[in-house]
């Protein structure tokens, strides 16, 4: 329990569940399968694995070290470790701003998901004709009242967990939800794999097609690796500040990364074989989950309704543990001696819900769709800022700070728990990755992203 408020995770297992909960989200279940299929399946997967383990994991470890060593929120953590360079606090601030924007857009999509869960439960989805799901989704997402209702509901749940505290709220909920999530996902995988024609979906996902792996695909792989691990915006600095003092940071980072990666691949296995078995289009993009999968579920008959409930529950739970970590970062930053946790969490929720509702109104044909910033609808602007621009910038600065501005002895001391854990291999291998490979890769992504 490293923070001044005395809050923290009670065990390494609890910390792994909470951080894996942050990492596993819409990015794994909805975004990864679609991107992987688009950029060449197995070929993309190979590149993705390298980025996840050599760059994403390095960033996670860096953020954990910065968080635990300083015991502070992202904005105070950098200057605490380098008091002679107070300007670094702006990196923490940029991360927190990114969290705020991601939370707003996450709330919109989570609201959709919760609505689909509700419509699976009540049987509404089962009554819609296959060809009408596109219209159904657009009419719902562009309407004024219903999306806001579900955004509010989802945010209320998130806020309640945060008010519960780090150990009694976040850790407890994550320890409960993450295993449930894995079980639900495995159930869906078994069903999907046993459908007639499932092998075409497996081939789509895993057979390497190097001709589809373009430069754009390689960039997408790095972007997805950062997004999926929730690194590059300071959330893991926050969770790092809650890590138990005897937690082995290297080991914890490996576990979280493996969980996140495995759940992304399992999601692909749950989705694509079913999509192919029902003769649907696998390149549905954002619509895949809300427009294509309901068709798949309906074609399975009565049991399909149960799988639809399971799937949208799974997606809602995954989104919830991610939203929790985002709101926690903002709450930790706002709380001090005067503003307690409850007041800060409620205040942040009220602020972010305004942006989320505005983003929802500006989506598709919504009532504010004609309002544009820089030629883009608000929803698309947020999506672009949080998906491709801000995280790589913050990630680059974080890894530069870690590799070039923190003292090597401090890093080794923190990773080895003051000399009680062996970290010899880290010194040789990872130090090179931290100082040179990761910053160079991030720089390349950024520059090419800006050029495009
Ligand atoms: N990792 C989350 C996902 O896969 C998305 C995400 C990105 C996130 N950055 C985050 C979640 C920061 C929590 C905190 O869906």
| Predicted local distance difference test score (pLDDT) of residue 138 | 92
pLDDT digits (tens, 9 = 90+) for 234-255: 999 999 999 999 999 999 999 9
| Predicted local distance difference test score (pLDDT) of residue 1 | 44
Contact 116, 292 (CB under 8 A): no
pLDDT digits (tens, 9 = 90+) for 40-98: 888 999 999 999 998 999 999 999 999 999 999 999 999 999 999 999 999 999 999 99
Nearest CA to ligand 1 atom 8: 230
- Provide CB contacts within 8 A for 373, sequence distance 6+: 381
Cα–ligand 1 centroid distance for 226 (angstroms): 9
Measured on CA atoms in the order 391, 396, 401, 403, is the torsion positive or negative? positive
Strand partners, 377: 372
Tally of CA atoms within 13 A in the half-sphere of 35 that contains its CB: 26
What 3-state class would DSSP assign to 373? strand
In the chain, the N- to C-terminal Cα span, in Å, equals 44
pLDDT digits (tens, 9 = 90+) for 249-281: 999 999 999 999 999 999 999 999 998 998 888
- Provide CB contacts within 8 A for 117, sequence distance 6+: 309, 312, 313, 315, 316
| Predicted local distance difference test score (pLDDT) of residue 4 | 56
Looking at beta carbons, which pairs linking 278-284 to residues 24 or more positions away fall under 8 Å? Answer: 278/195, 282/37, 282/201, 282/204, 283/34, 283/37, 283/38, 284/34
pLDDT digits (tens, 9 = 90+) for 315-335: 999 999 999 999 999 999 999
Looking at beta carbons, which pairs linking 122-126 to residues 24 or more positions away fall under 8 Å? Answer: 123/305, 125/294, 125/297, 125/298, 125/305, 125/308, 126/298, 126/304, 126/305, 126/308
**Which residues of the chain fall short of a pLDDT of 70?**
1-5, 284, 286
Domains of the chain in start order, with CATH, are: 12-451 (1.20.1740.10)
Residues with CB under 6 A from ligand 1: 22-23, 25-28, 102, 227-228, 230, 233, 235, 322, 325-326
| Predicted local distance difference test score (pLDDT) of residue 34 | 82
Cα 175 to the center of its chain, rounded Å: 17
Atom of ligand 1 nearest to the CA of 323: 13
Atom of ligand 1 nearest to the CA of 25: 15
| Predicted local distance difference test score (pLDDT) of residue 3 | 59
Joined together, the tokens standing for residue 183 give 């079980």
Nearest CA to ligand 1 atom 13: 322
Cα 316 to the center of its chain, rounded Å: 13
| Predicted local distance difference test score (pLDDT) of residue 5 | 66
Atom of ligand 1 nearest to the CA of 229: 1
How does DSSP classify residue 383? H
Cα–ligand 1 centroid distance for 45 (angstroms): 20
Nearest CA to ligand 1 atom 10: 230
Q: Does the pTM exceed 0.85?
A: yes
| Predicted local distance difference test score (pLDDT) of residue 347 | 97
Contact 257, 56 (CB under 8 A): yes
């Amino acid at each position: 329990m490293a923070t001044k408020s005395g809050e923290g995770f009670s065990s390494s297992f609890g910390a792994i569940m909470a951080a894996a909960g942050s990492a596993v989200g819409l990015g794994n279940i909805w975004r990864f399968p679609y991107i992987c299929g688009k950029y060449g399946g197995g070929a993309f997967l190979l590149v993705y694995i390298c980025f996840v383990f050599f760059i994403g994991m390095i960033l996670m470890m860096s953020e954990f070290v910065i968080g635990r060593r300083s015991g502070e929120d992202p904005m105070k953590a950098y200057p605490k470790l380098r008091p002679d360079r107070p300007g670094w606090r702006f990196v923490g601030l940029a991360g927190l701003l990114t969290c705020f924007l991601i939370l707003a857009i996450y709330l919109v999509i989570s609201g959709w998901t919760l609505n689909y869960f509700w419509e699976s439960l009540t049987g509404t989805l089962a009554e819609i004709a296959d060809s009408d799901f596109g219209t159904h989704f657009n009419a719902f997402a562009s309407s004024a009242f219903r999306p806001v209702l579900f955004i509010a509901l989802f945010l209320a749940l998130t806020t309640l967990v945060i008010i519960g505290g780090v150990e009694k709220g976040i850790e407890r909920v994550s320890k409960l939800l993450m295993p449930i999530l894995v079980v639900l996902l495995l159930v869906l995988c078994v069903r999907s794999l046993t459908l007639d024609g499932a092998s075409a979906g497996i081939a789509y996902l895993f057979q390497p097609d190097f001709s589809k792996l373009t430069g754009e695909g390689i960039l997408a792989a790095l972007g997805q690796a950062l997004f999926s691990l929730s690194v590059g915006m300071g959330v893991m600095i926050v969770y790092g500040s809650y890590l138990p003092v005897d937690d082995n940071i290297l080991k914890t980072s490996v576990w979280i990364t493996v969980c996140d990666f495995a759940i992304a691949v399992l999601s692909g296995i749950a989705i694509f074989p079913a999509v192919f078995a029902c003769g649907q289009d696998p390149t549905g993009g954002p619509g895949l989950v809300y427009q294509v999968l309901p068709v798949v579920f309906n074609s399975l008959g009565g049991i399909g309704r149960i799988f639809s409930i399971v799937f949208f529950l799974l997606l809602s739970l995954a989104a919830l543990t991610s939203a929790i970590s985002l709101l926690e970062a903002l709450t930790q930053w706002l709380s001090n001696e005067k503003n307690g946790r409850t007041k800060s969490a409620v205040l942040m929720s009220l602020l972010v819900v305004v942006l989320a509702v505005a983003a929802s109104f500006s989506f598709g044909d919504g009532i504010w769709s004609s309002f544009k910033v820089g030629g883009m609808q608000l929803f698309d602007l947020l999506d672009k800022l949080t998906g491709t621009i801000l995280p790589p910038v913050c990630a680059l600065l974080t890894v530069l700070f870690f590799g070039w501005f923190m003292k090597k002895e401090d890093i080794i001391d923190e990773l080895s728990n003051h000399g009680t854990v062996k970290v010899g291999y880290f010194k040789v291998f990872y130090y090179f990755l931290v100082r040179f490979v990761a910053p160079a890769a991030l720089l390349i992504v950024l520059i090419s992203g800006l050029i495009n």
